[in-house]
Amino acid sequence: MKSSSPDILPPVVAKSLTKLGADLAVARRKRHLTVRMMAERTGVAFNTYRRIESGDPKASLGTYAMALYVLGFGGALGELVDVRRDDVGLLQDEERLPQRVRVKRAPTSR
**CATH code at position 30:** 1.10.260.40
Residue 92 is assigned to a structural domain of this protein? no
pLDDT tier at 1 (50, 70, 90 boundaries)? very low
Mean pLDDT for all residues in the chain: 89
Confidence at residue 83, expressed as pLDDT on a 0 to 100 scale: 81
Q: Is the dihedral of CA 39, 40, 42, 45 positive or negative?
A: positive
In a domain, 30, yes or no: yes
Average pLDDT, integer, range 10-32: 96
Domain range for 24: 9-78
